[in-house]
């Protein structure tokens, strides 16, 4: 099971709580998937009030509040402080958006905000790109988890830069890494886990599926299968065919 800031969680699936057709569907999807972590936007919680907070508390997952929708260091830091008071946790998923269309992180502001929050006692989960230099700066700022995107938030495009994500995994072999954003299918989630990532975080793929509960269960199975495949040390791809049946000792007829 993945370990984040010395806390083990029960599943490598991290699931968001936004955009579901109803609170009942949200709760049922969580029961089907049993994710280890539930991400919650402070803005979303305010929209639902105490009823939503009570629902979140009953999901059976550790809460990871986020700074979704923030576009500046000041806004993200302020939101993080509000989340710490409301949810009584030092964990924060840090988002600082730099581009409105792609929702790509503003990596410069992200590093600055991460340093401020870490110095203030937060345990930061930064939503970032797969850039090795940026990730190195985030680690230097005190982050002990990295959450690179697979593709833009809500796009469902899957793993856009497999080479970059593999390079990041190789460069930080002992750091917990989470593919966050862009997962649209169970195969995308499995691919991330097969690369050796510790977890995947997704929301839209489940919330906007025709059957949110069925998709939640499928994602949970995919994450489990992908992790098992990684641990099984899969074979390397080959350019040439190789017979699966040995030819040594086989009778040859003239």
Instruction: Report the binding-site residues.
Output: 154, 181-182, 203-204
Q: Is 250 a catalytic residue?
A: no
Binding site residue list for 1-deoxy-D-xylulose 5-phosphate = 154, 181-182, 203-204
Give me the sign of the Cα torsion angle 232, 156, 10, 121. Answer: positive
Distance CA 16, CA 142 (A): 25
**Contact criterion met (CB below 8 Å) for 62 and 37:** yes
Q: How far is CA 198 from CA 43, 92, 116, 180, in A?
A: 28, 18, 26, 11
- Given 62, 93, 208, 250, the catalytic residue: 93
Estimate the crossing angle of helix 212-231 against helix 23-33, to 10 degrees: 20
Residue from 22, 2, 9, 4 nearest 213 by CA: 22
Please spell the DSSP secondary structure of 185-249, one letter per residue.
SHHHHHHHHHTT-SEEEESHHHHTSSSHHHHHHHHHHHHHHHHHHHHT-PPPP-SS---SS--TT
Enzyme catalytic residues: 93
């Amino acid at each position: 099971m993945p370990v984040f800031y010395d806390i083990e969680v029960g599943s490598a699936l991290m699931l968001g709580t936004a955009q579901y057709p109803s609170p009942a569907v949200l709760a049922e999807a969580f029961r089907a998937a049993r994710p280890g972590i539930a991400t919650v936007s402070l803005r979303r919680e305010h929209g639902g009030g105490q009823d939503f907070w009570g629902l979140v508390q009953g999901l059976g997952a550790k809460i990871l509040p986020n700074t979704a929708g923030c576009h500046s260091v000041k806004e993200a830091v302020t939101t993080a402080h509000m989340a710490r008071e409301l949810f009584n946790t030092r964990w924060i998923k840090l988002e600082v958006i730099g581009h409105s269309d792609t929702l790509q992180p503003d990596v410069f502001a992200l590093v600055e905000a991460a340093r401020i929050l870490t110095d203030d006692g937060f345990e930061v989960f930064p939503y970032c790109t797969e850039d090795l230099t940026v990730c190195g700066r985030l680690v230097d700022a005190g982050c002990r988890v990295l959450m690179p995107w697979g593709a833009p938030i809500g796009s469902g495009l899957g793993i856009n830069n497999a080479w970059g994500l593999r390079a990041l995994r190789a460069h930080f072999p002992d750091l917990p890494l989470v593919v966050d954003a862009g997962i649209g299918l169970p195969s995308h989630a499995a691919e991330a886990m097969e690369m050796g990532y510790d977890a995947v975080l997704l929301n839209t793929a489940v919330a906007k599926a025709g059957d949110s509960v069925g998709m939640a269960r499928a994602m949970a199975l995919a994450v489990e299968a992908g992790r098992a495949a990684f641990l099984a040390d899969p074979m390397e791809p080959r350019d040439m065919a190789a017979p699966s049946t040995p030819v040594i000792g086989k009778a040859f007829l003239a």
